[in-house]
Amino acid sequence: MAQSTKSGSSSLDNQAAPAKAKSARKGRPVSLIYVPLFLGGSHRGASMGPAAMRVAELPERIKNFGFQVAEEIDIDVPHSVCWWDTQSHGKCIPEISQVSEAVADAVESALEAGNLPITIGGDHSLAIGSIAGAASYWRKRNEQFGLMWFDAHADINTPDTSFSGNVHGMPLAVSLGKGDPKLVELRGFSPKIPAKRAVLIGIRDLDAPERDMINQTGITPFSMREVDHLGLGRVTDLALASVGPDVSGLHVSFDIDVIDPDVAPGVSTASRGGLSYRESHLALELLAESDLVRSIDIVELNPAFDVRNRTAELAVELILSALGKRIL
């Protein structure tokens, strides 16, 4: 299901690593997990996201920043036309469940090895697996983790509330224990994260049932109105406070469509009025400074809608910010 390629470098040269990078992650090696998943929504171009990130030299730029890329893993995705199942309220669930198991294995194994897994999409349904893998890792240690979910959309529908049946609109609900049992019970436990440990940032395009779900679950939301009113620095500080002072780590799930499409055009479901270039970097820089980031998703990059790979280039820059890159 997954193919792994080990880095040729035997260890991270701590003397060569930039001081700020070492401070932010203490030299933690990185596992890059490529998931060309396109089954969560009818946007086949999302499958090209990992390739576009490689074209933008993601592993090379991580290494140049001073981190070891311990492994690069390619997750197999079934070739399917299950999108066109108009009778289902949850399309492609068996196939997505299969991919989610492989992603969960890769993320948990990376964390067990002391690496920081970065899962590259592909559509946001991959977070079902990445969060399951992170949750399993922390659960075995009887430790708590927090979830920072950046997105224009809440992704908190279920098959009963979704108008489209597209699973890329459901992964947060699944992680909170709501939805199809094949996905909810991944790894044999549910929920993967309590609502009080999860934060939504940048939302602005919600279905009516999602508003109800946010209120019912008790998850902490910061819409673009709060971002505009308070500023993203204050919102990020409040988000960190919201997950609690007792978390041992953070999983950051970053949907690139949280950014305004004028800045990041290469996404499947663009929504005007999003984060600016600098706001996006600021949020990830502040999370890096918390020294809590332990796993990351970068999702919904769709090169079919991009301009000269500029959104992929931005995504690589954002990953470096999450690893601790600063202006000074």
Q: Residue 251 — φ and ψ, nearest 5°? A: -105, 125
- Encoded amino acid at 207, one letter: D
Count of alpha carbons within 13 angstroms of residue 173, beta-carbon side: 28
Give the tokens for residue 118: 């970065």
C-alpha distances in Å from residue 189, one per residue of 95, 106, 111, 245, 264 = 20, 18, 19, 24, 36
- 107 and 119 Cβ atoms separated by less than 8 Å: yes
Residues annotated as part of the active site: 124, 151, 153, 155, 168, 255, 257, 300
CB within 8 Å of 156: residues ≥ 6 apart: 170, 172, 173, 176, 178, 210, 213, 214, 217, 219
Tokens of residue 72, six digits: 């690069």
